[in-house]
Amino acid sequence: MSEKINTITSTTPIEGVDSRNASLNVGSQAPLKQNTLKNYVLLMFGEFLGTFLFLSLAFGGTQAVKINHASNSSSFPKDPTRVVPTPELLLYESLSAGFSLTVNVWAFYRVTGAFFNPAITLGCVLIGGVPPLKGALIGSAQLLGGIAAAGLVEGLTPGKLAVGTSLAPDVSVVQGLFIEDMVFLTKSLHAGKEAYIVSGHQLAVEKHRATFIAPLGIGLCFFTILLFGNYFTGASLNPARSLGPAVITRDFPGYHWIYWVGPCLGAALGAAVYKILLLANYHTVNPGQDDDGLSIVRYEISHRGAASGLADENV
């Protein structure tokens, strides 16, 4: 019987071994031949379907709680679009959207990347993670998904569709723009649009040990943003989320543009932050976060001439 190889080794870096990335490729297969047309079609379909499911559940939860509040009010006729937002209602809406994003990102992020947001797509284009043509196709599919989701909820639920985004009383257009962008909260709260973009890049685009829980991080970040912005602007942070209800209800307020410009500005700033981190080689600040020692074990096994079957058994 072959002598069992001792896999308890020092974690001292070995020259020539990439201990940060090597162990992330365990069991990876050789790249498959790419069919560009098929991939683009599947990508657009996946982003359309994912955006549709995400916003359908988010819109459905919002419509449900507003209809419930309208039914309990003394006003007549029962109009969910005129419901006074209470803390309970706002929390319900935030939970609906946050959980919906989490579960749908979890379902789709290994298939399409689960952007579900033209602003997120723009951010990925700006950092070079997505080619411009692909980004334009993805963004179009996401916008169509938002319109389809609003149409579905409008057709399935009673009363007027009450899921559109609008500014709260006494909130100016400028305030609404920067709340949607959340520039001023980025550094202090890490919960603004830029933080969402950066967390999305860090958790989903850049592969590391936390990649498998990327949907949870993205969903929680979105939920915390909603807790702040939901009352003031509806916390769209997503042109597809605002466009869908506006198209179905044919209601485009004069400030509708802030739901496009705000998130896109946030995406650009988030991409800039990420680029700065890359240029500064941020991995050197807190090295070894993705190192589990497997690359070192493999290095020692390969230099001892161990059989591949035995190596797989012990790693």
Domain span at 270: 37-283
Number of domains in the chain: 1
Q: What are 295-308's pLDDT values in tens digits?
A: 665 666 666 655 55
**Segment 221-225 long-range contacts (CB within 8 Å, at least 24 positions apart):** 221/191, 221/195, 221/196, 222/97, 222/98, 222/101, 222/196, 223/94, 223/95, 223/97, 223/98, 223/99, 224/189, 224/191, 225/182, 225/191, 225/192, 225/193, 225/196
In a domain, 145, yes or no: yes
Q: Which residues have a Cβ under 8 Å from the Cβ of 80 and sit 6 or more positions away?
A: 63, 66, 67, 69, 70, 159, 160, 162
CA dihedral 145, 147, 150, 151 (to 10 degrees): -110
In a domain, 6, yes or no: no
Cα 138 to Cα 88, 112, 117, 195, 300: the distances in Å are 35, 10, 9, 22, 45
In a domain, 270, yes or no: yes
In a domain, 303, yes or no: no
In a domain, 293, yes or no: no
In a domain, 224, yes or no: yes
Which helix (H) or strand (E) is 192 found in, with range? none
State the pLDDT at residue 139.
95
Question: Considering the chain, what percentage of its residues have pLDDT values greater than 90?
Answer: 38
CATH number of the domain encompassing residue 265: 1.20.1080.10
pTM: 0.77
Q: What are 55-74's pLDDT values in tens digits?
A: 999 999 999 999 988 877 65
State the pLDDT at residue 77.
55
In a domain, 22, yes or no: no
